[in-house]
């Protein structure tokens, strides 16, 4: 059955130009927007015009001082916020529209105006901390989205899944004391920013509600499908979120220059099918994704296409069959470490 899948896209996101040598370029989105014109992508999606986030929206997570620091970049030539994160004259507006577009589609999905949605936006967000830009990220869209869903939309439990090759440090830190937000991150061990080890499980009342799976390089479609089916699905069904948010990074693709994973477009379809099946069971399919990494433009557009087709119900990947082909040694290592850390927190294991 075809679903009503929303997409956020707008040319303002192409105006954020972070400077020579930065791989987080406008071409990433240009390739995706071009792909949306393919014949097999016509008349499937609901385009949602992004709304500019208000200051109070950004202050749901970020500090006043930090907001003003980013605001001061408006209209100025290239400014280094950190060694790896820069702003140009249009960056502030792009970041506000990115955050606002994400909040808008969350509202529409929660209100059942859309079945699910994917915000095709930049700059990305999951590394951004409360008072610090980093890793090409300025405002943390997924953190803002979860707090917005809690405080404004009055939802109880929210699941955040981060499948970027890099750990979403900013998102983890936003919720590590909150038992009502389950943060589940699958990322490559040893990469930037150096956080996200197995034993980071949350703090105080939030202990157990941060799940980190740092993987050795070389995991591919079948292994990722197995992780989502064997580890995420049971925990998510026990947690029973009212909304699932995804930090969707595509730098685990085998052709991406950033990591050492072996994912293909088919694998991204598989993990999307797994999350979607979980969402259907626990929260009436309420699923909203936000674009994070992915630095090979051709691989990125192919993978995003596969995800969008799964979200819209155009394709239906047999994720169980995909997971069955996983390398047993790779999965056994991961499951063993996972159970060691989480068995006292999640009794189902």
For the CA atoms of 55, 146, 80, 298, the dihedral, rounded to the nearest 10 degrees, stands at: -120
Distance between first and last Cα of the chain? 34
- Helix (H, G, I), strand (E, B), or coil: what is residue 161? strand
Give me the DSSP letters along 256-308: -SS---BB-HHHHHHHHHHHHHHHHHHSTT-EEEEE-----HHHHHHHHHHHH
Give me Rg for the CA atoms of the chain: 18
Contact (Cβ atoms closer than 8 angstroms) between residue 341 and residue 236: no
Contact (Cβ atoms closer than 8 angstroms) between residue 26 and residue 17: yes
For the CA atoms of 68, 69, 74, 79, the dihedral, rounded to the nearest 10 degrees, stands at: 180
Contact (Cβ atoms closer than 8 angstroms) between residue 191 and residue 216: no
137's tokens: 């990220």
345's tokens: 């927190």
**Burial of 49 (C-beta count, 10 Å sphere; 0-12/13-18/19+):** exposed
d(CA 9, CA 119): 7
Give me the DSSP letters along 200-244: ----GGGTTSEEEEEEPS--BHHHHHHHIIIIIHHHHHHH--SEE
Among the options 16, 62, 86, 127, which is catalytic?
127
Q: How far is CA 285 from the centre of its chain?
A: 17
Q: For this structure, is 127 an active site residue?
A: yes
Contact (Cβ atoms closer than 8 angstroms) between residue 172 and residue 204: no
Q: Which residues are catalytic?
A: 127
């Amino acid at each position: 059955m075809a679903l009503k899948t929303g997409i956020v896209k707008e040319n303002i996101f192409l105006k954020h130009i972070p400077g020579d040598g930065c791989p987080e370029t406008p071409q990433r989105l240009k390739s995706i927007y071009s792909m949306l014109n393919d014949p097999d992508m016509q008349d499937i999606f609901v385009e949602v015009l992004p709304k500019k986030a208000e200051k109070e929206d950004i202050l749901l997570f970020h500090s006043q001082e930090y907001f003003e620091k980013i605001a001061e970049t408006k209209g100025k030539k290239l400014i280094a916020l950190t060694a790896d994160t820069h702003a140009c004259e249009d960056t502030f507006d792009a970041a506000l529209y990115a955050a606002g577009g994400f909040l808008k589609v969350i509202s529409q999905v929660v209100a059942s105006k859309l079945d699910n949605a994917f915000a095709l936006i930049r700059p990305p967000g999951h590394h951004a901390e409360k008072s610090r830009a980093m890793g090409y990220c300025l405002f943390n869209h997924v953190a803002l989205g979860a707090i917005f869903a809690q405080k404004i939309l009055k939802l109880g439990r929210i699941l955040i899944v981060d499948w970027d090759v890099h750990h979403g440090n900013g998102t983890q830190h936003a919720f590590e004391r909150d038992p009502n937000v389950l943060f589940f991150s699958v990322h490559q061990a040893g990469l930037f920013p150096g956080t996200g080890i197995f034993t980071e499980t949350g703090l105080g009342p939030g202990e157990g509600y941060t799940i980190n799976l740092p993987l050795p390089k070389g995991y591919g479609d079948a292994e990722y499908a197995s992780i989502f089916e064997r580890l995420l699905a049971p925990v998510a069904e026990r947690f029973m979120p009212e909304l699932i948010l995804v930090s969707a990074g595509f730098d685990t693709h085998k052709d991406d220059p950033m990591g050492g994973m072996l994912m293909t477009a088919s694998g991204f379809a598989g993990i999307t099918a797994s999350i979607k099946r979980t969402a259907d069971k626990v929260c009436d399919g309420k699923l909203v994704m936000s674009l994070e990494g992915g630095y090979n433009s051709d691989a990125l557009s192919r993978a995003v296409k596969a995800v969008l087709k799964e979200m819209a119900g155009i394709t239906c990947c047999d994720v169980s069959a995909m997971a069955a082909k996983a390398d047993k040694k790779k999965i056994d290592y991961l499951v063993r470490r996972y159970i060691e850390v989480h068995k006292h927190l999640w009794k189902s294991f």
